[in-house]
Structure 1
Amino acid sequence: MGLCSWLVLGGIAGWLASIIKGTNARMGMFANIIAGIVGAMVGGWVFSFFGGRGVTGFNVYSLLVATVGAVILLSVLQALRK
């Protein structure tokens, strides 16, 4: 995937994760993109650990992997803040 694809996929995944976790009002566009990209790495690792595939390109499966990873990331960050 190219840089633009990572930014778009990361932005969408981070935005969806922030809506799921209820942090959308506090996060801006750049925080969503970073959360989505790091979430794609976390999600890829988690899915690979359980026998699945990580991010495979710009598709719905990769969006799911990145969103799950971003939700995990935001959950850990929320737990550390408390």
Structure 2
Amino acid sequence: MGILGWIVLGLIAGAIAKAIKPGEQGGGWFTTLLLGVVGAIVGGWIGSALFNVGVNQFWSLSTWILAIGGSLIVLVMWGLLTRKRA
């Protein structure tokens, strides 16, 4: 999968991750979509390291599950880093 495929996958995975975990992570939709691209890369890395499953094909179910899972992880981490302390 090329770089354009990674970007599209990450943008969609970020939007799905935001729909799964709504809340105040800070940064708005643009930041969430960028975090989705990073999350797709993280999900692909975790999948290949732990499960020997890569993110090679755009239309593969495992690719989408790893990308969305990685996006959720990155979104939660971003929320922890940017939350306001009372």
Give the TM interval when normalised to the shorter protein: 0.7 to 0.9
Unaligned segments of structure 2, at least 5 residues: none
Contact preservation (8 Å) 2:6, 2:40: no
**4+ residue runs over 3 A deviation:** none
- Structure 1 gaps of 5+ residues are none
Please say if residues 55 and 65 of structure 1, whose CA atoms lie closer than 8 Å, have aligned partners that are also in contact: yes
Contact 1:7–1:33 (8 Å) recurs in 2: no
SS at match of 2:28: coil
Kindly indicate whether residue 48 of structure 2 is the aligned counterpart of residue 48 of structure 1: yes
Cα offset for 1:14? 0.5
Q: Does 1:64 align with 2:70?
A: no
Q: Is the 8 A contact 2:32 2:75 kept in 1?
A: no
Which residue identity is paired with 2:70?
Answer: G
Distance 2:6 2:48 in 1: 19
The one-letter code matched in structure 1 to 2:54 is: G
Q: Highest CA radius of gyration, 1 or 2? A: 2
**Sequence identity (%):** 38
* Map of 2:13 onto structure 1: 13
Say how many residue pairs are matched: 80
**1:37 corresponds to which residue?**
37
- What TM-score do the two structures reach when normalised by structure 1? 0.77
CA displacement, residues 24-56 of structure 1 (integer Å, 9 cap, x when unaligned): 9x632x434322221111112222232231311
Distance 1:27 1:81 in 2: 12
What letter corresponds to residue 14 of structure 1 in structure 2? Answer: G
